[in-house]
Chain A
Amino acid sequence: MEFDWTEEDLSYRSELQDFLAEELPGRWEGATAVLGSADNAEYSRRFAGLLAEKGWLTPHWPAEWGGTGATPWMLAVLGEELWSRGEPRGPQYMNVNWIGPSIMAHGTPEQCQRYLPPIAAGDVIWCQGFSEPEAGTDLASLRTRAVLDGDDYVVNGSKIWTSYGDIADHCYLLVRTDAQAERHRGISVLLMAMDSPGLVVRPIPGMVGEHSFTELFLTDVRVPVANRLGPENEGWSVVREALSFERVGAPRWARAAHVLDETVRGAMEQGQSIDPVAVEAVGVAKTACEAARMLCYRVIDERARDLPPSPHANVARVAMVQAERLVADACAALQGNEIMRYGSDSDLQMRKSLAAGVAAGTYEVQLNLVSRRHLRLPKN
């Protein structure tokens, strides 16, 4: 057991920091927007191209698809540095961390040729068509139906809470291809073009900053069978595997820690006296970020050893949600009435912290998984 960074990781971090200091001076325009906003997504198209040129957009991919053999630790460093600057990759992190790897693992040679190079170049945006009005946390109850007709599936149904639905080029879409099967069977993954006839995208105004989600309405949308990812009716295992890549791919603690740091420094620069209650709150919030950091590192260590996904990932997720919330409380304690000013750190962080325990799997589901898989508490 030891907790040192290797020389290689340290020099990678420092090279990355120099690059980011150049390319993302101070508060770049997207940082004040929230992850998921149209501003942030547009910015990401430019920025991802720059990263791709340096080989830093998909460094962990196989060389065949543009990777540079980065270790899980280097990937963690990359994630930390980018998330602590407001995640300028915007929606690209989904492509890079799990949509691309999922296509690599299950795609046909044609699908890989068609979809992977644009992701590696950073000039494409994907959205995920998972949740439905009646299938949120209970994702396996999804109903959007795809029926085979010649060389196409004909898709009918709707998806909701789809981030980037209004700007994405493609959708990683979950559909039901066998209505009779047990609910975890009978699901397939389709790679759908977002300009498909019959697809209507409606924005849903959100209160988490500028973030807007969308709703997708699919009426007789034709998706070629050639665009199915993996075997028919086995989409559930494809997507479960894909999401195990995603879960700790987003080091939200690093962004939360950065917001806290900016807020404290802002208060100090203004010569604001920080009362003991606020000092206590920022100390507790900083601690929560640090704890989440170590719990994420434990997962990365497992990944670096090629161990299968473990419940330690769920432990880390819970800690990250707690950190986001405590940072929101600390910013509010520090900034007082500034929370009324739209776009203040405390205003934005309070909004973001609401999404932390909902997006990509609820806090409660993570607690279920920690209690069953980590503590091995009994089922009913």
Chain B
Amino acid sequence: MDFTLDSHQEAVLEAVGTLLSRHAGPARLHDLGGDEPGYDHDLDKRLAEAGFLDIAEPRSPSRLDAALVLETLSGALASSAAGWRLLVLPTLDIDVEGPVAVVAESHSGPARFAADADALVVIGDDRVRLVRPDRPIPRVRSRLGWPVGDVNELPEGGLIDEAPVAETLSWTRVAVATEMVGAMQFALDITVRHVSDRRQFDRAIGSFQAVQHGLAECSVAVEGARWLALEAAFTGSASTAAAALTQASEASKLIFRRTHQYHGAMGFTREYDLHLATLRLLALRSEAESFGRPAAACAHEHWGI
């Protein structure tokens, strides 16, 4: 057990951080449309060129470094489907150039990245398919901080031979949990700064115990989600993956309500960055549920119920 970054991980995250400081972050997301952003193909290209998108070898059982990169991308509010590529595609050993979207076969309706993806990974009960849509998937107007497409009546075919369904689903959970952690940390950090600076009644509002306790609970929840997601990425354990996603989903409810509450009306504005992270959490949570209720998956993985 080692909870600190090794020198290789440190170097990778520093390089990713440098790239993101120039080509991602709230300002870039505002440029792309803010809470209604376009897909950041330019960022994907840069990440791919630097070799960050295939950091996990195909079929590698441990994808901790890829999860660390994804958490950093999410914390920088990247408008990219890199999470699927980093954590899910290595399970499938398939060749796709551009962005992919991952959807449940039973799902129809809005899905992140579907309109921008070159292909969709479609996870069914007993099969995984790689679907290249025969006509463009229409965009959906969404204000939750992601580019969204409307998935309906996908063509048949594209069966991926011997794709491990449960494992694919499990890595999908790790990816969503990791993305949630990055966004939650963004929201928490910006809120800690705000309540430390904002003064009312001649004192910083962050010195009131009601606010302190609320944020302390948020922090504990996010830390729990982070370490479960990283452990799941390291071990590839399906039960830890389900627990990580459950923890992240539960934590995101606290983060959404409380970070907005402690910002007052400032948090409603499109100009201020908080909503860029919090609204994304709503999309991530519902996406997580489209693959089955996370807590039910956790109970199933542990006890078969």
Contact = CB atoms under 8 A, between A and B. Distances in A.
Interface of A: 1-5, 73, 261, 264-265, 268, 274, 276, 279-284, 286-288, 290-292, 294-295, 297-298, 300-302, 304, 315, 318-319, 322, 364, 367-368, 370-372, 374-380
B228 interface: yes
A374 B216 contact: yes
Contacts of B246: 283-284, 287
Contacts of A370: 216, 219-220
Nearest to B226: A294
Interface in B1-15: 1-6, 9
A364 to B, nearest CB: 7
Contacts, number: 159
Contacts of B225: 291
Interface in B280-299: 293-299
Contact of A377 (B207, B230, B296): B207
Contact of A378 (B3, B196, B243, B295): B196
Main secondary structure of the interface of A (DSSP, over half): helix
B41 interface: no
B216 A294 contact: no
A321 to B, nearest CB: 10
Interface string B61-87: 000100010000000000000000000
Main secondary structure of the interface of B (DSSP, over half): helix
A306 to B, nearest CB: 13
B203 interface: yes
A2 B2 contact: yes
A298 B227 contact: yes
A305 B250 CA distance: 32
Given A283-B295, A370-B220, 9 more contacts: A3-B230, A264-B299, A276-B296, A280-B295, A294-B224, A294-B227, A364-B213, A367-B217, A377-B192
A288 B299 CA distance: 12
Given A315-B220, A370-B219, A279 B2 contact: no
Contacts of B296: 276, 279-280, 283
A268 B305 CA distance: 9
A297 to B, nearest CB: 6
Give the 9 A-B CB pairs with smallest separation, nearest first.
A291-B224, A283-B295, A371-B212, A294-B227, A283-B298, A370-B216, A283-B299, A287-B246, A367-B216
A4 B1 CA distance: 5
A1 B223 contact: no
Contact of A301 (B3, B228, B242, B294): B3
A215 B227 CA distance: 42
A294 B228 contact: yes
Interface in B185-235: 192, 195-196, 203-204, 206-207, 209, 211-213, 215-217, 219-221, 223-225, 227-228, 230-231, 234-235
Contact of A287 (B196, B213, B220, B298): B298
B178 interface: no
Contacts of B209: 368
Contacts of A274: 305
A300 B227 CA distance: 14
B303 interface: yes
A291 B227 contact: yes
Contacts of B170: none
24 contacts: A1-B5, A1-B230, A2-B6, A274-B305, A276-B296, A279-B296, A280-B293, A282-B299, A282-B305, A283-B246, A286-B299, A287-B246, A287-B247, A287-B295, A290-B243, A294-B224, A301-B4, A315-B220, A319-B223, A364-B213, A375-B219, A376-B192, A377-B196, A380-B203
A282 B298 CA distance: 9
Contacts of A290: 228, 240, 243, 247
A292 B223 CA distance: 10
A51 B252 CA distance: 44
B276 to A, nearest CB: 21
Interface of B: 1-6, 9, 64, 68, 192, 195-196, 203-204, 206-207, 209, 211-213, 215-217, 219-221, 223-225, 227-228, 230-231, 234-235, 240, 242-243, 246-247, 250, 293-299, 302-303, 305
B177 to A, nearest CB: 11
B217 A318 contact: yes
A1 B211 CA distance: 33
B3 A374 contact: no
A300 B240 CA distance: 20
A308 to B, nearest CB: 15
A375 B216 contact: yes
B6 to A, nearest CB: 6
B1 A3 contact: yes
A119 B294 CA distance: 46
Contacts of A286: 243, 298-299, 302
Contact of B303 (A265, A295, A377): A265
Contact of B235 (A3, A265, A367, A368): A3
B3 A297 contact: yes
A377 B298 contact: no
A377 B228 contact: no
A1 B62 CA distance: 12
Contacts of B213: 364, 367-368, 371
A304 B196 CA distance: 34
Contact of A368 (B3, B212, B224, B302): B212
Contacts of B4: 1, 301
Contacts of A379: 207
A356 B118 CA distance: 52
A375 B203 contact: no
Contacts of A315: 219-220, 223
Contacts of A300: 1
A241 B303 CA distance: 41
B215 A375 contact: yes
Contacts of A318: 216-217, 220
A39 B70 CA distance: 51
A274 B303 CA distance: 12
Contacts of A2: 1-2, 6, 64, 234
